[in-house]
Chains A and B, each alone.
Chain A
């Protein structure tokens, strides 16, 4: 298994290089330059534009810009610097990574914990009233975009006289050391992004799990297991669910890149200190090394997610073997 994982990891290098070229080309195809956004400032003259262009290395040919960037990554682990902030990209991403991972992982766990049992329940009781209602709600939450849910929740909280409308903390707790009131304040704010971002995932996962369960519960081996007298609970969990969960494991691997780009609009609306809005800004303003590093990071997460889900599948399903 180790040699398999190693081979897969080595295989990522050319893929990532290719992706970085594509990202660079796409960013360059966007008209205009990073400096355009400053032209309206009365302090900016034509000389200023020329000076800044030179300072940022934008006067060099595109292939030189690209190669310098790649060389920096390979030789020094330097992902370039942000034009806007004048600081190394890696440092800036690191600053925002904590809350991003926290929110993404928490959302993932919560949505799995809710979606899997619901999926099983709706599959087993396909014609029951409870399942019908759950399915209906599932369709609705699939259809409503996450930012709209966020806006509705904000309006709801405001209407009820609440003050926890966006962000992760009340103003007085931002940047303060941890304490019990601060944790409570966090929890008081957290449920809105949890619902807004998680709802769509719950609905999608629930539908997947339901479909996959329906496939499995009519299989011969389930009938056989029942026939030989196994308890209903054992049939369900050891035979049916274990087989039905496979497609979801593959799906989980694919959801890793959403860490960065999944919730841009909801993050802006909810004012969350995550990476999404940062990627959005860098693309809009052509802050090229930030955008490229984030896109590359997102591609890397996809590749790693795939690898992890393959490994997890092999672990969960003895029929799958590394050749």
Chain B
């Protein structure tokens, strides 16, 4: 090599390094002082609990909460939530533009990001992940359904190595919020994908639990180091992570993060008390015991937080109950309002949740200031006498003197129905008993029918219930819960006769009451309008209609409770699997 060429290549290297340095733009995690976040210390390790063994190590191959908890530490999406405001912030995408009336989303990717094995991250990985996993209907944990709007597909293309673009058939303001999908490495997964010549369904078999840990490559704060079947998942710090703290120190602070697999919640608490677990999310029922230990000087803190996420329980009456008399009554908003007066929310909050819950919103968590409308007045008061009068007014009276009210009409049957609830839950059984005893005082006979909690939704969807106690999780934007709350939606199971005859067809408008039609239209309009103030007005109207007509009767909004060892700093409550909400990189060992 001549001197000339050597110096030229050296020059090229230097300029490349300069460009690289200029382009590498880590995200600064700043501004969380109000949440108690301070500058941390690098090093240390932490152990968390997993409720069961992960079924696979490939996030899009199985729907599995435990895998979600691990994946959350190993992968990132294009955008993510702000920890305190829940607003969408840049993640793997450094910036984006929305053009053409809200139909074109162009994401500029963060440059200089590397996978945990050192390979460069780029637009090909993003296109690869969306095409072969997220938009692939055969991928079991993909989300193909969200990439069709009014029957037309959303398309995407690569503009250059650091830019991708989505083209929507119509405006969809919640689209940005949804792009928290974890991006996967093309160089490791190509052989399982359609791009690599495999069948569409083969992607599900990528990264089984016996895969070599080095194969599982991500951009997240931690990378897989070992999995011991049924016992423990170990991860170590990803040296290539793309976030830094306020002073520029690379995150995460911790060197290692382990997950112990412990099924039984009591066993988890025991392991936490023994110091083998460093953080644990607990239920209201476990709170008094742990809190009293904290007060007595145990080396941990129990923290309550009124988080946005979490599932507020409700009761629903089946508008399409098999018995005609019940169906007619359940479909009457006056009946549902009357019965709300017999739902003792305060008592449930006090006794079932140990006071660690608050009054619920209607489809929106009260802490969600962006969307919540104060509907507290419509919740009414627990008043059995007033509820009785309201039932009398509906002509639901005890006509044969047996202590149970009768359905209206001559020779009406007793007002008696089943309440379906989940037996394997820490809250449902107690709640069901309270409802049963209060309804009895009102002259309404309720028979309890316990099933597995995991079967509640399928039972609801099959219409095989009369009254049901269930819960759906809250999300930051009502649009994300549209199939639940929009009449005719796939999960709107309390009035199933409004559902369309076939998937994608128009719902059965003829079966909808006036207020249901209005809610139906609200959701359609809010899903397409790009004017923020108009969306706010529409969802406000929806919450009021919800509160007045009670398609379901919400009961309480549980608080989230976590316990954390005193060894750690910068703890921010983290519910569990919320893609795009992962405060663990900020945690440090004191």
**Interface residue ranges, A against B (CB under 8 Å):** 31-33, 36-48, 51-52, 55, 84-87, 91, 95-96, 151, 154-155, 157-158, 162-167, 169-171, 174-175, 268-271, 273, 277-278, 281, 284-285
Q: Is the CB of A46 within 8 A of B490?
A: yes
CA–CA, A19 and B268, complex, Å: 37
CA–CA, A271 and B232, complex, Å: 11
B457 CB–A CB distance under 8 Å: yes
CA–CA, A269 and B269, complex, Å: 11
Set A84, A157, A169, A273: member contacting B229, Cβ < 8 A: A273
CB distance from A316 to the nearest CB of B (A): 38
Q: Is the CB of A55 within 8 A of B204?
A: yes
CA–CA, A52 and B63, complex, Å: 11
The contact sample of 29 A-B pairs, CB cut-off 8 A, is A32-B455, A33-B458, A37-B454, A39-B457, A39-B461, A41-B141, A42-B481, A43-B145, A47-B145, A48-B137, A51-B140, A84-B64, A86-B62, A95-B229, A96-B229, A157-B274, A165-B267, A165-B276, A167-B260, A169-B231, A170-B276, A171-B47, A174-B260, A175-B232, A268-B267, A269-B267, A271-B271, A273-B230, A278-B230
Which segment, of B182-190, B205-213, B356-364, B541-549, faces chain A? B205-213
Q: Is the CB of B208 within 8 A of A85?
A: yes
CA–CA, A295 and B230, complex, Å: 20
- Chain B residues whose CB sits within 8 angstroms of the CB of A164 once the complex forms: 274
Set A32, A47, A271: member contacting B264, Cβ < 8 A: A271
Q: Is the CB of A85 within 8 A of B144?
A: no
Q: Is the CB of B204 within 8 A of A40?
A: no
Q: Is the CB of B264 within 8 A of A268?
A: yes
CB distance from A36 to the nearest CB of B (A): 4
B273 CB–A CB distance under 8 Å: yes
CB distance from A192 to the nearest CB of B (A): 11
* Residues 266-323 of B contacting A (Cβ, < 8 Å): 266-267, 270-271, 273-276
CA–CA, A106 and B64, complex, Å: 34
List 10 tightest A-B contacts by C-beta distance, closest first: A175-B228, A45-B145, A36-B458, A273-B230, A163-B274, A174-B232, A37-B454, A165-B270, A43-B143, A95-B229
Q: Is the CB of B56 within 8 A of A175?
A: no
CB distance from A5 to the nearest CB of B (A): 35
Given known A-B contacts A32-B458, A36-B458, A96-B230, A166 and B138 have beta carbons under 8 A apart: no
Q: Apart from A32-B458, A268-B267, A271-B267, what are 18 other A-B pairs with CB-CB below 8 Å?
A: A38-B63, A39-B458, A43-B141, A48-B137, A51-B140, A85-B56, A85-B209, A96-B230, A155-B270, A162-B274, A163-B275, A164-B274, A166-B262, A167-B262, A271-B261, A271-B264, A271-B271, A284-B452
- Chain B residues whose CB sits within 8 angstroms of the CB of A169 once the complex forms: 231
CA–CA, A96 and B226, complex, Å: 17
Set B63, B232, B275: member contacting A43, Cβ < 8 A: B63
Given known A-B contacts A86-B205, A268-B264, A158 and B458 have beta carbons under 8 A apart: no
**Interface residue ranges, B against A (CB under 8 Å):** 47, 52, 55-56, 61-64, 137-138, 140-146, 201, 204-205, 208-210, 226-232, 234, 258, 260-264, 266-267, 270-271, 273-276, 452, 454-455, 457-458, 461, 472, 475, 480-481, 483, 490, 503
CA–CA, A48 and B526, complex, Å: 26
CA–CA, A46 and B480, complex, Å: 17
The residue of chain B having its C-beta at the shortest distance from the C-beta of A91 within the complex is: B210
The residue of chain B having its C-beta at the shortest distance from the C-beta of A163 within the complex is: B274
- Chain A residues whose CB sits within 8 angstroms of the CB of B263 once the complex forms: 268, 271, 277
The residue of chain A having its C-beta at the shortest distance from the C-beta of B234 within the complex is: A175
CB distance from B500 to the nearest CB of A (A): 11
- Chain B residues whose CB sits within 8 angstroms of the CB of A271 once the complex forms: 261-264, 267, 271
Which of A36, A46, A158: most chain B Cβ within 10 A? A36
- Chain B residues whose CB sits within 8 angstroms of the CB of A158 once the complex forms: 270, 273-274
Q: Is the CB of A175 within 8 A of B231?
A: yes
CA–CA, A199 and B271, complex, Å: 23
CB distance from A13 to the nearest CB of B (A): 32
Q: Is the CB of A165 within 8 A of B271?
A: yes
- Chain A residues whose CB sits within 8 angstroms of the CB of B273 once the complex forms: 158, 165
Set A40, A51, A84: member contacting B55, Cβ < 8 A: A84
The residue of chain A having its C-beta at the shortest distance from the C-beta of B134 within the complex is: A43
CB distance from A306 to the nearest CB of B (A): 30
CB distance from A37 to the nearest CB of B (A): 4
Q: Is the CB of B232 within 8 A of A171?
A: yes
Given known A-B contacts A46-B503, A162-B274, A87 and B137 have beta carbons under 8 A apart: no
Q: Is the CB of A42 within 8 A of B480?
A: yes
The residue of chain A having its C-beta at the shortest distance from the C-beta of B454 within the complex is: A37
CA–CA, A230 and B475, complex, Å: 84
Given known A-B contacts A46-B490, A271-B263, A52 and B230 have beta carbons under 8 A apart: no
Given known A-B contacts A38-B63, A163-B276, A43 and B142 have beta carbons under 8 A apart: yes
Q: Is the CB of A86 within 8 A of B145?
A: no
CA–CA, A268 and B270, complex, Å: 13
- Chain A residues whose CB sits within 8 angstroms of the CB of B227 once the complex forms: 175
Q: Is the CB of A47 within 8 A of B144?
A: yes
Which of B61, B141, B270: most chain A Cβ within 10 A? B270
Q: Is the CB of B490 within 8 A of A166?
A: no
- Chain A residues whose CB sits within 8 angstroms of the CB of B503 once the complex forms: 46-47
Given known A-B contacts A271-B262, A271-B263, A52 and B140 have beta carbons under 8 A apart: yes
CA–CA, A32 and B456, complex, Å: 11
- Chain B residues whose CB sits within 8 angstroms of the CB of A163 once the complex forms: 274-276
CB distance from A174 to the nearest CB of B (A): 4
CB distance from B14 to the nearest CB of A (A): 44
- Chain A residues whose CB sits within 8 angstroms of the CB of B145 once the complex forms: 43, 45, 47-48
Q: Is the CB of B52 within 8 A of A86?
A: no
Which of A42, A154, A284: most chain B Cβ within 10 A? A42
